[in-house]
Amino acid sequence: MKKYILISILLLSLFSCNDNVVNNEYYSNIKTEFYTLNPSNWIAVKGSNIQWYQEFKLPTYKFSDPDKMGVMCYYLNQYDAWEALPSTRIFWTENDVVYSDELWFSHNLEYLYIDYRNTIPGIASPPKDKILIKAIFFDNVYNSPSTNSQNIDWNNYLDVKQKLNLKD
């Protein structure tokens, strides 16, 4: 009797196994571009005295379907580490007036836009130093049902770099 139970358990465990195949096709169409935000290139947003932007032509010719292309951007922060955008820093004056500066990105089918907002009371201005931007462009990552890209933490540069096999 014990022999039959053991054989049944063994057969059940053998036939209930399934393969866990991981498809890594999302590695194939990833591009990295670097941009320098020069202090003299900031363009004031119309109707605002606290917001500026810079624009860069997208490398859409490198992708099969630019309409489904995604973008993630990072800037090189004061610690020489890549920080994901958007980024907001909060400050306060000697009179305890709170203000912020913000850096974020957006894109359309033609341009990548890097926006900056500085709300310091009375003396808001765009950055005085160069800012280095790293933009990662990916084609159809979210649109392919056979990828496991949902496991990527897009706000963590090290995770994106490792899982997409990127090099600095």
- β-pairing, 69-76 vs 131-139, is antiparallel
Residues (pLDDT < 70) of the chain are 1-28, 64, 140-150
Where do we find the tokens 């894109």? 107
In the DSSP assignment, the letter for residue 150 is: G
pTM of the prediction? 0.66
- Taking alpha carbons only, the member of 57, 62, 30, 60 closest to residue 138 is 30
pLDDT at 118: 92
CATH of 38-163 among 2.60.40, 1.10.1740, 1.25.40, 3.40.720: 2.60.40
pLDDT for the residue numbered 112: 94
pLDDT attached to residue 157? 80
Phi-psi region of 70 (alpha: psi -120 to 50; beta: other; left: phi over 0): beta
Query: What span, in angstroms and rounded, lies between the C-alpha atoms of 95 and 98?
Result: 9
Contact 29, 103 (CB under 8 A): no
